[in-house]
Amino acid sequence: MALRELASLEKYLGLKKPNKYSTQGDKKVPVLQNNNAPPLVGLVTIACHLVKEAKRPELLGDGAEGRAVVQQWLEYRVTKLDSHTEDTKSILKDLNLYMQDKVYLAGNQLTLADVLMYYGIHSVILDLAVQEKEQYVNVARWFDHIQHHPGVRHHLPPVVVLRNRLYTSRHH
Q: 118 exposed, middle or buried (CB, 10 Å; 0-12, 13-18, 19+)?
A: buried
pLDDT on residue 167: 46
SS3 string of the chain? CHHHHHHHHHHHHCCCCCCCEEEECCCCEEEECCCCCCCEECHHHHHHHHHHHCCCHHHHCCHHHHHHHHHHHHHHHHHHHHCCCCCHHHHHHHHHHHHHHCCCCCCCCCCHHHHHHHHHHHHHHHHCCHHHHHHCHHHHHHHHHHHCCCCCCCCCCCCCCCCCCCCCHHHC
Q: Is the pTM of this model over 0.85?
A: yes
pLDDT on residue 143: 96
Residue ranges of domains in the chain: 1-148
Angle at 6 between CA 39 and CA 29, to 5 degrees: 55
Q: What is the CATH number of domain 1-148?
A: 1.20.1050.10
pLDDT tens over the chain, length 172 residues:
789 999 999 999 999 888 889 999 988 899 998 778 899 999 999 999 999 999 999 999 999 999 999 999 999 999 988 877 678 899 999 999 999 999 999 999 999 999 999 999 999 999 998 888 889 999 999 999 999 999 998 888 999 876 655 444 454 4
